[in-house]
Homo-oligomer: A and B are copies of this chain.
């Protein structure tokens, strides 16, 4: 089916940088003729640049596709985590959604069955998804806009946070290292995340298993600052033991099964 195939082509090109028509045909299971048509259309839409025999992503499409590509990583796990997180939401409460891609899945889940909530967020994509959802009051934090993940950060955003209290915070992370601290890719984001955690009754971490044991440069906070972790059942036993030892309420979401 066409729509799925176009997605696969974009992600293949994002990962590989360049591909020829034969590679794309193999990657998608379609014929060479079909791939050429697809590339023709993608070129018309400014998404790819064609060369003789193949294609690469158009320069202009780069930042947006980088974000879309990260959204697509571990998407099944993120959706399943989003489903469970949805079950924790309480109507008529004030909730902060950070700008992470797993939190974005929670926002998407909320669109399927809206609840009456007051939502704060520093994520442009989250705001965009929720702006027209019935029963929601959506507030943006404000601050300097980062194009890598469409989030607002900076001292301005942090100071504003200081004036609020949230019933719940739904937080993503880039990594949880062996030292049991959460890490992220940007210092301003790390600083803002600390400020968020300091302003909530219940911090909920949404992170698929691939984040545990991986690495990023900027420390956010010890995972013991988190009240609830929702991850998936692919998490290895050592981490399960670690989380239990730290008395962190953890939900392991099964994968590969239709809900």
Residues of chain A touching chain B, judged by Cβ–Cβ distance below 8 Å, are 1-4, 7, 10-11, 14-18, 20, 46, 51-54, 56-57, 60-61, 63-64, 75, 79-80, 83, 108-109, 111-113, 124-125, 127-129, 131-133, 137-145, 147, 150, 152, 154, 156-157, 160, 258-259
Q: How far is the CA of A133 from the CA of B20 in the complex (A)?
A: 25
In the complex the two chains form, is B133's CB within 8 Å of A61's CB? yes
Q: Give the chain B neighbours of A80 by CB distance below 8 A.
A: 15
When all copies of this chain in the complex are counted, the total is 2
In the bound complex, how far is the Cα of B128 from the Cα of A112, in angstroms? 24
How distant is the Cα of A63 from the Cα of B138 in the complex, in angstroms?
A: 14
For A11, list chain B residues within 8 Å (CB).
112, 259
Give the contacting residue for A1; candidates B51, B79, B112, B129; CB below 8 A: B51
Inter-chain contact B259/A15, CB cutoff 8 Å? yes
Cross-interface CB contact of A108 among B52, B57, B132, cutoff 8 Å: B57
- The interface residues of chain B lying within 8 Å CB-to-CB of A56 are 3
Asked if B131 and A145 sit within 8 Å, CB to CB, the answer is: yes
Chain B residues with CB below 8 A from A124, complex form: 124, 127-128, 131, 140
For this complex, 18 residue pairs linking A to B, each with C-beta atoms less than 8 Å apart, are A1-B20, A1-B53, A2-B51, A3-B18, A3-B51, A3-B54, A4-B18, A11-B112, A14-B79, A15-B79, A60-B128, A61-B111, A61-B128, A64-B132, A140-B142, A140-B145, A141-B142, A142-B160
Which residues of chain B are within 8 angstroms of A128 by Cβ–Cβ distance?
Answer: 60-61, 124, 128
CB neighbours (8 Å) of A51 from chain B are 1-3
In the assembly, what is the distance between CA of A227 and CA of B133, in Å? 39
